[in-house]
Amino acid sequence: MSSAPRGTGGAAQSIRDSLVVAQRNLIRMSRIPEMVIFGLIQPIMFVVLFSYVFGGSMKIGDSTSSLAYREFLMAGIFAQTVTFATAGAGAGIADDMHKGLIDRFRSLPMARGAVLTGRTLADLVQTALTLFVLAIVALLVGWRIHEGLGKALAAFGLLLLLGYAFTWVGALIGLSVRTPEAATSGGLIWLFPVTFISNAFVDTDNMTPWLRHIAEWNPFSATVQACRELFGNPGVSQSDAWPMQNPVLASILWSLLIIVVFRTLAVRKYRNAAA
pLDDT tens track for 127-141: 898 899 899 988 988
- Tens digit of each residue's pLDDT (9 = 90 or more) over 5-54: 455 556 787 888 888 888 887 887 777 777 777 777 878 888 888 777 76
Distance CA 157, CA 52 (A): 28
Distance CA 224, CA 74 (A): 9
> Does residue 228 have a pLDDT over 90?
yes
Average pLDDT (58-66) is: 65
**Taking all residues of the chain, what is their mean pLDDT, rounded to a whole number?**
83
Of 11-15, 158-162, 199-203, the range with the highest mean pLDDT is 158-162
Q: What is the pTM of this model?
A: 0.86
> Does residue 259 have a pLDDT over 90?
yes
Give DSSP secondary structure letters for 229-260. Answer: HHHT-S------SHHHHSHHHHHHHHHHHHHH
Average pLDDT (155-162) is: 96
- Tens digit of each residue's pLDDT (9 = 90 or more) over 103-112: 677 677 777 6
Tabulate helix, strand, coil % of the chain (nearest 5): 75, 0, 25
pLDDT confidence tier of residue 98, bands split at 50, 70 and 90: confident
Q: For residue 219, give Cα distances in angstroms to 196, 250, 253.
A: 12, 8, 9
Which pLDDT does position 57 carry in this prediction? 64
Burial class (CB in 10 A: 0-12, 13-18, 19+), 63: middle
Q: C-alpha angle with apex 104: 102 to 105, nearest 5 degrees?
A: 65
Average pLDDT (253-257) is: 97
Cβ proximity of 232 and 239 under 8 Å:
no
Rounded to 5 degrees, φ, ψ at 166 are -70, -25
Helix axes 149-176, 219-231, angle to 10 degrees: 160
Give DSSP secondary structure letters for 151-210. Answer: HHHHHHHHHHHHHHHHHHHHHHHHHHSSSHHHHHHHHHHTHHHHHHSSSSSS-GGGS-HH
Cβ atoms within 10 Å of 147's Cβ, excluding its own: 14
